[in-house]
Amino acid sequence: MTTPILDVHQLRTWYPVRRGLLGRGAAWLRAVDDVTFTVMRGETLAIVGESGCGKSTLGRTILRFVEPTEGNVWLDGHRITEMSRVELRRLRRHMQVVFQDPASSLSPRMRVRDIIAEPLVNFGLAGDRAAVDARVADLLCQVGLPRSAAERYPHEFSGGQRQRIAIARALAPEPDLIICDEAVSALDTSSKAQIVNLLSDLQQRLGLALLFISHDLAVVEHIADRVAVMYLGKIVEIGERAALFEQPAHPYTRALLSAVLDPSPARRHARIMLRGEVPSPIDPPSGCRFRTRCPYAFDRCAAEEPELRERPNGQSAACHLDALPALS
């Protein structure tokens, strides 16, 4: 069996928070709370959920922008949790990131050439100036930008084009894995489709693995091989895209899918209106964390936390119900 490119095991990222005027009674914000999954080479795993579910903290913990409280992460068989900063630096070229807002992740004072060349220089992958220029031109071509873009500054480009620059920079050190943190969420409709297609093309051509963090299920359906749904720091359902989209096994997945609005009046569907909003991750509900908003909650849900269990369709869901009630 092949080694997964990314192996995340029982990962916890808790932040200490102060309570009360004197900071007594310290509590924990459980942003990521016991998360386990793998990503194979060339695969796209989407992490979906609403704000506060911990999906971005999960990405940042894997990148070690934030230190995990517990658990482990292996990148291509190397345990990157507990690695020293120096060791991590060397390995980081294999794992790159594209953020939501290219305007704030690209330095406004650097030319596009230098932005894309930076990782080449940092990881010692650069040859002489001519070699760097050739590589930058090649990367620009791969992301669909003209060679002349190299001499310009980020502000001269539209949002979609800036995201292409960010992708070119991420590709520069030839990574095995790119973490896309809401990478298309801030884009307009027409550039969103372009960037999703670009990521799919690059992935197929270069054999990249993607960890695609997003709140947008309609986009995820176009790009993901597998999908993990997070709620209040935990994965509540994980499985193959088709199984999870066609027959969700967790009530939260079903509600998320039903909340996606469709422009065609003919394609309106029954909507499951969830009560209220996501509770605080500082004080999550007992038992199942979703029970306070779940239309199907019963006594056992408050008393006992459901484990992820495999379902007949192959996906795993953390719900006490074996099957969801039929939609009326």
Residues of this chain that interact with another protein (CB under 8 A) are 50-51, 158-161, 188-194, 196-197, 200, 215-219, 221-223, 241-242, 245-246, 255-257, 259-269, 271, 273-274, 276-278, 293
Cα torsion 238, 72, 32, 207: sign: negative
- Nearest approach in angstroms of CB 72 to another protein is 30
Nearer to another protein, 58 or 274 (CB): 274
- Nearest approach in angstroms of CB 110 to another protein is 21
Nearer to another protein, 276 or 325 (CB): 276
- 323 and 247 Cβ atoms separated by less than 8 Å: no
Q: Pick from 200, 175, 59: which is nearest to 120 by CA?
A: 175
DSSP 43-108: -EEEEE--TTSSHHHHHHHHTTSS--SEEEEEETTEE-TT--HHHHHHHGGGEEEE-S-HHHHS-T
Measured between alpha carbons, how far is 233 from 39 in angstroms, rounded to an integer? 19
Nearer to another protein, 40 or 83 (CB): 40
Cα torsion 234, 48, 253, 315: sign: negative
Q: Pick from 20, 116, 110, 14: which is nearest to 66 by CA?
A: 14
Nearer to another protein, 79 or 222 (CB): 222
Measured between alpha carbons, how far is 270 from 33 in angstroms, rounded to an integer? 32
- Nearest approach in angstroms of CB 6 to another protein is 22
Beta bridge partners of 35: 11
- Which run of H or of E encompasses 27? strand 27-39
- Which run of H or of E encompasses 34? strand 27-39
- Nearest approach in angstroms of CB 309 to another protein is 23
Nearer to another protein, 127 or 146 (CB): 146
Nearer to another protein, 245 or 296 (CB): 245
Nearer to another protein, 81 or 161 (CB): 161
- Nearest approach in angstroms of CB 247 to another protein is 8
Residues in the chain: 328
Nearer to another protein, 81 or 100 (CB): 100
DSSP 194-261: HHHHHHHHHHHHHT-EEEEEES-HHHHHHH-SEEEEEETTEEEEEEEHHHHHHS--SHHHHHHHHT--
- Nearest approach in angstroms of CB 224 to another protein is 8
The CA dihedral of 124, 127, 132, 138, to the nearest 10 degrees, is -90
In degrees, to the nearest 5, what angle opens at C-alpha 257 toward C-alphas 251 and 13?
65
